[in-house]
Amino acid sequence: MKRYQVKPRSKVRLAEWDPNDTGEFDGGKKEGLAEVEKLNNKLEELQELLFAEQKHKVLVVLQAMDTGGKDGVIRRVFDGVNPQGVRVASFKVPTEEERERDYLWRIHKQTPGNGEIVIFNRSHYEDVLVVRVHDLAPAAVWKKRFDQINEFERLLAENGTTILKFYLHIDMDEQKERFQARLDDPSKRWKFRLGDLKEREYWSEYMKAYEDVLSKTSTEHAPWFIVPANRKWYRDLVVSSVLVDALESLNMKFPEPEENLDNVVIV
């Protein structure tokens, strides 16, 4: 899955990344879903190790356009993991208390502790995406945030946090189909907002903003992965594979049990 990792200091042009890509996986959807299930079982084991060892922290950042699949990734990739050690943090419009402080204040409070996986469903990157596209802050302000974010993530990494950032890449046609599916399904219509269509009008501006984010904030300590996300099963396969590889690289071990347990008799 290294093919989807954005190299530090490289220039990203999203038009060159195919959202329909399935890499070298030619088994199709059925085999892909079976592989995702295997990876999920492995993730369960690794997450149990992470929680037991209480040594490492893992931060997963999910960013995407509307209908890009953030909720789907959380639901499918993390299906079955112990909720005691996994937490989701979502970032909506800042509250009055949050607006009175720097934009990273509310983010830092949600970062993972030892033994924990935290998933950001949207993140601090909204402050160089939405803020930029809708002109909520001058360019002189949001442009400084690329360096600030890199240093913030460096701080987390140097204090034991493994950071994995995923941009779920879909195209406009796929978004149109997913919006229509929401409208057509009574059980999903609650997720549809007229404002989503207004945001769709800014597609080109968002693509430029995302290109800057991916180009300027993919680092050795906090890499971005551009995940082809038109096919949901392959999206989940990519995210699961990257996550499992990262956790395996931590070489975790279960803690040693208390001494003298061999002679314990439970009555």
Per-residue pLDDT tens for 114-142?
Answer: 999 999 999 999 999 999 999 999 999 99
Which residue, 21, 68, 16, is CA-closest to 200?
68
Number of alpha carbons in the 13 Å side-chain half-sphere of residue 128: 25
| Record: fold of 2-248 | Rossmann fold (3.40.50)
Phi first, then psi: what are they for 95, rounded to 5°?
-75, 175
| Paired tokens of 120 | 């950001």
Domain boundaries, the chain: 2-248
The pLDDT of residue 257: 81
- pTM of the predicted structure, to 2 decimals: 0.95
CA distances from residue 42 to 28, 61, 97, 216, 244 in whole angstroms, order as listed:
21, 20, 41, 32, 7
Which residue, 141, 126, 137, 113, is CA-closest to 54?
113
The pLDDT of residue 18: 97
Per-residue pLDDT tens for 59-70?
Answer: 999 999 999 999
Residue showing tokens 């943090």: 89
Per-residue pLDDT tens for 165-189?
Answer: 999 999 999 999 999 999 999 999 9
Q: Are 207 and 175 in contact (CB under 8 A)?
A: no
The pLDDT of residue 7: 97
